[in-house]
Every structure is written in structure tokens, then in C-alpha cells.
Amino acid sequence: MSPAKINIAIDGYSSCGKSTLAKQLAKKLHYIYVDTGAMYRSVALFALDNGFFESDFDKEKLINSLNQITIRFERNENGLQTILNGENVEESIRSMRVSERVSEVAAIPEVRKKLVSQQQEMGKEKGVVMDGRDIGTVVFPDAELKIFMTASPSVRAQRRYDELKANGKEASMEEVKKNLEHRDYIDTHRSSDPLKQADDALVLDNTDLTPDEQLQKALDWSRERMGE
């Protein structure tokens, strides 16, 4: 008898390694991985490229333009790629320019409603690993496994700084720390679907864990919930 298919929701703060773990877990379990952060980053990139941040952030313009935004994922030799309105934006959505704006965009209820609806559709057949800020609380409240990831602020800042440097993007450690603090505040204080730990989530603090150790822990939890 094959193990039951489940949905896995991974939530947590910025730069805790949610996407890395979710991708690894999906690969090991032969599940579909959905990068919800990339979806919100794509909307932020659309807003930036269309001048909605030129003076004050014009939220109404963005809300009125949501029907012009189409986001999908494609897999190529470099892995999962984010496609915004037919264009591969995987690299541009990871810039500091987008990082500085994404939490503001993600706080807009109309944006969340549009993307949450798409995300829930993706999970109807089960066998999905999804990471974000509100997956276990809003998108998949009935997910069979919910993981809430956290790490110390200094470790998170170092990881984000190293990631930017590795991708050839300029940023100082001070900028990175301020950006993470700003995003944490907005993510946890927004009125629509704030970041919070689901009551039935298992906490994964990876401050002192290697990537292999955290993957093993998540795999053990997954297989337990799948009835293996």
C-alpha cells in the first residue's frame, strides 16, 4: 500500500531557509513545490516596473492592475523558474530592489486574495510543498503537516548577505539587517493574514542545524504524517 499523499505547509520569517527546505523536501518526496514568495515578489516587480512606487506607493493602481498579472512556474536546467506575464523573472525578483518592497505589496488584502486563491487551487490534488508566511494558517489550514521555521536574527542576516553576494548583488550587512527587521515588522503586523505560527505547527529552529540535518527532521515528520 502506497503512503497517503499530503500537503506540507512551511511558514516562517525571511531568510530562514524556507524555500531551500521546501525544494529539497519536494524533490525527496516527488511532490510539487510552489514558491509563494516568488509570486509576491513578482507582483512587487510588476509594481516597480510600472512606476507604482515613483512617489508614494499607489496601491489603487496596483489593485486595479491585478487582472493584468499572470504568474506561473516552469522547470528548466537551472531549476524552477518564475514566469511573470510570459517573461522569466527568476533573477530580477531576488534583487534588493524587490526585497525592499515585497512586504508592502504582500500586505495588500486584494493581492493576497488573488494569490491565495491560485495557491489553494494548486493544492487540491495533494502532494504539494508550499512555503510562505500564511500557508498553514490561511492557504492550507487543513495541511497534514505544518512546519514553522525560525533562526536567530544574526544567522538570518548572514545567510541573506551571503546569498546576495553569491548572486553578484551589492548590499551591505547593515542594509540587509534593516531590510529583515522592516520585513519582519510588516509581515507580523499587517491586518490581512499576518505571519504567525499555526497552533498545530511543528517548530523547526535551524540556527544550529546543517541543511542535511533540517531536511532529515522534516522528512521524518513528513513520513510520519504520510503513514509510512
Q: Is 99 annotated in some ligand binding site?
A: no
Q: Is residue 10 classed as helix, strand or coil in its secondary structure?
A: strand
Q: Is 16 annotated in some ligand binding site?
A: yes
Angle between helices 173-189 and 96-106 (to 10 degrees): 10
Q: Is 103 annotated in some ligand binding site?
A: no
Q: Is 31 annotated in some ligand binding site?
A: no
Q: Is 13 annotated in some ligand binding site?
A: yes
What are the distances in angstroms from CA 171 to CA 25, 41, 137, 166, 167?
Answer: 30, 18, 33, 11, 11
Helix or strand (DSSP H, E) at 25: helix 18-29
Q: Is 18 annotated in some ligand binding site?
A: yes
- Sequence-separated (6 or more) residues with CB below 8 Å from residue 138: 112, 116, 193
Q: Is 110:47 a contact under the CB 8 Å cutoff?
A: no
Q: Is 12 annotated in some ligand binding site?
A: yes
Binding-site residue positions for ATP: 12-20
Binding-site residue positions: 12-20
